[in-house]
Chains A and B, each alone.
Chain A
Amino acid sequence: EDQVTQSPEALRLQEGESSSLNCSYTVSGLRGLFWYRQDPGKGPEFLFTLYSAGEEKEKERLKATLTKKESFLHITAPKPEDSATYLCAVQAYSGAGSYQLTFGKGTKLSVIP
């Protein structure tokens, strides 16, 4: 069974204080690892897809990296508007031509001005 564990569950940062969120996973046949951002009461917003170990992707203050067992979401000099829950998900083949996402429970990030 595919498993995704995110840590920490919650993180409070001062504005400008860089940090990293962790996503560790066990999956048979990883097709991709996804990062989403979710604001309260809203739908998950797609951020990145990573496909192979060593791959990195960046968007503004966010950079996602991938190893064979985990992914990190690095946040550089965060701003209050970066406050959200960040979700990690692994995509794997589930049969009948279907690929499914298994989500972690997320890291709730709060950036204090």
Chain B
Amino acid sequence: DSGVTQTPKHLITATGQRVTLRCSPRSGDLSVYWYQQSLDQGLQFLIQYYNGEERAKGNILERFSAQQFPDLHSELNLSSLELGDSALYFCASSAPLDDRSGNTIYFGEGSWLTVV
């Protein structure tokens, strides 16, 4: 158990709909990352937050957005869903950068999204 908690584990929704994925980082971790994993693309970095502020953006679509709240949990919002958005969405967290263990990024178990 990495200590990163994601909900829901599975969800099925229709095209055009909107969903929210939730993540609680490991205790003490300030950074939260979101990744997308599909069969043909591997793990793709979407976005990073550090202590409530957006820190880096990767290949995140404009239809997707995220935020990190004061209690450090994070949500990834996916809207106007398309069939191609079906994937595993992972949240990950890491310790503060001034912590020696801050290099390591720990992953949750993921949220399976199926768009039908």
Interface residues of A (CB under 8 A from B): 31-32, 34, 36, 41-46, 49, 87, 89, 91, 94-106
Show 13 A/B contacts (Cβ-Cβ < 8 Å), sorted by A: A41-B88, A41-B112, A42-B110, A43-B92, A44-B43, A44-B107, A46-B104, A46-B105, A46-B107, A96-B56, A100-B45, A101-B105, A102-B45
B103 touches A43 (CB 8 A): no
Given contacts A98-B55, A99-B103, A100-B48, 16 further A-B contacts (CB under 8 A): A31-B103, A42-B109, A42-B110, A43-B4, A43-B90, A43-B109, A43-B110, A44-B43, A44-B90, A49-B103, A87-B43, A89-B43, A96-B55, A101-B45, A101-B105, A105-B42
Question: Which size class do B's interface residues fall under?
Answer: 20 to 34
A55–B1 Cα distance when bound, in Å, is 27
Docked pose: A95 CA to B90 CA in angstroms:
22
| Distance between A95 CB and nearest chain B CB, rounded to angstroms | 7
- Please determine whether B55 and A97 come into contact, CB atoms closer than 8 angstroms: yes
Q: Is the interface of A mostly helix, strand, loop or mixed?
A: strand
Q: By DSSP majority rule, is chain B's interface helix, strand, loop, or mixed?
A: strand
* Shortest Cβ-Cβ A-B pairs, 10 listed: A43-B107, A98-B56, A103-B43, A105-B42, A98-B55, A44-B107, A43-B109, A43-B108, A43-B110, A32-B103
Tell me the complex Cα distance, A31–B97, Å: 12
Number of A-B contacts (CB under 8 A): 58
For A97, the chain B residues whose CB sits under 8 A away are: 50, 55, 97
CA distance A43 to B88 in the complex (A): 9
- A43 lies within 8 A of B55 (CB): no
Q: Contact: A91 with B56, CB < 8 Å?
A: no
Most chain B CB within a 10 A radius of its CB, from A43, A101, A102: A43
Residues of A within 8 A of B110 (CB): 41-43
Task: Decide: A100 near B42, CB < 8 A? Known: A32-B103, A91-B103.
Answer: no
